[in-house]
Structure 1
């Protein structure tokens, strides 16, 4: 009888421990900084956009509930780097971010291309210097490439910085810019949502990308729990890629459902 009581107590301890751990995981809420960049991230569209949908699902598989705070991109970066938020959705894993952030496994790849009016004789460019003389629209705090930002700093290219891609597109259709650098999918969505067919049919983009970036969740090294959170996210991301959930989300993206 005494031996049975020990067994019962041991089993009860394991059950309570299991329940306690489960409750803790189920109730763990994290706040992630992000910004407006449809269809990847946006509070105006389905599931906060493709990237945030992937992030929420990956964390949910690991027992975390995600909330998002939408900020200008530069502020979302700085505030997350300082440890104010659990993670940043989303960024390229460049040399600049690596000293202060952990980078997750990549969520997708995106090509940044030059949109322009079809009537513009856009150069068959090989290097950025081939774009000299063009008024180029770009968005503040986007990654692009080091060479691109150097060309902005030294004024070797006429790059006009705006707060978001929508402003750049409006300047393009009004003739105040010659070209703008935007993700091909994002640019196509902005055109289809905000402009009439007679304008859309006059806009195209150059096939040569400036860069193809991989998209990552960034977690601040300043927060001690970031490595644990990183492991949980990567595990959840691998799971949704393996079971077909990720492919479904990607198909929804291509079909314009975000």
Structure 2
């Protein structure tokens, strides 16, 4: 029995995957301890199942494209969209986050109904989903690859607002040097879970997702998931 356990453990330890991550502080990024709390969760979820993760830090659009082409073994953190689900399998939720609209203090954005936002140009990031705010429904989104630049454009008046998660938005505003000039509307435009995703074209997609879900469940049951997220 002992020999069987050792052999099985060795076999599991030899399972290695490469995962794309982007810069989305304070949740993930190559300058954060352990790759950020989301990176720690991904690594530890797989590690609990005997899998070793190598993170490849890339611009968001590049990491997403490689994942879609199954040239890596997955990426994170991504919200759900029907369009994306056509090409990707989704894990169980890792974390729930709110997306809000940041604006210049001297040019506040007011809205009470979704249609109110159609008169604004909103800075957004390539491949991101923003709930009900979709170009196909008449909203104007100025999408770019670099989220820090969205806040520079906001300060310069080139967009009316920026769509971003609350904590991420403040970090980006600080990095852009404009945190003292911006605020955000308290009404969230989207509140959703974020996931680990794997291309449906990946030959091991279902096994990777099942393994991650098992590890995530173990972290949640042990209290480790809450412990990691509480550090943020």
**Is the TM value for this pair above 0.5?**
yes
Are 1:67 and 2:54 an aligned pair?
Answer: yes
Aligned to 2:193: 214
Alignment partner for residue 162 of structure 2, among 176, 180, 204?
Answer: 180
Structure 1 residues 234 and 25: CA distance shift in structure 2, 3 A: same
Q: Per-residue deviation at 1:244? A: 1.7
CA deviations over 1:183-232 (Å, ceiling 9, x no partner)? 1110022234442xxx4333210111121121111122323322222222
Q: Per-residue deviation at 1:66? A: 0.6
Aligned to 1:7: none
Contact 2:61 2:145 in 1 (8 A): no
Q: Per-residue deviation at 1:48? A: 0.9
Structure 1 residues 113 and 174: CA distance shift in structure 2, 3 A: same
Aligned to 1:143: 129
Are 1:117 and 2:96 an aligned pair?
Answer: no
Alignment partner for residue 243 of structure 1, among 213, 222, 229?
Answer: 222
RMSD (Å) for aligned C-alpha atoms: 2.0
Structure 1 residues 91 and 172: CA distance shift in structure 2, 3 A: same
Unpaired stretches in structure 2, ≥5 consecutive residues: none
Aligned to 2:86: 99
Alignment partners' CA distance in 2, 1:147 and 1:86: 29
Aligned to 1:161: 143
Alignment partners' CA distance in 1, 2:117 and 2:91: 34
Contact 2:155 2:181 in 1 (8 A): no
Contact 2:135 2:141 in 1 (8 A): no
Unpaired stretches in structure 1, ≥5 consecutive residues: 1-13, 254-258
Alignment partners' CA distance in 2, 1:84 and 1:194: 32
**Larger Rg over CA atoms:** 1
141-150 vs 49-58, which moves further: 141-150
SS at match of 1:85: coil
40-49 vs 186-195, which moves further: 186-195
CA deviations over 1:139-192 (Å, ceiling 9, x no partner)? 1111113642315xxxx4443222121000111123322211111110022234
Aligned to 1:22: 9
CA deviations over 1:46-77 (Å, ceiling 9, x no partner)? 11122111100111111111111122323322
Aligned to 1:39: 26
Aligned to 2:204: 225
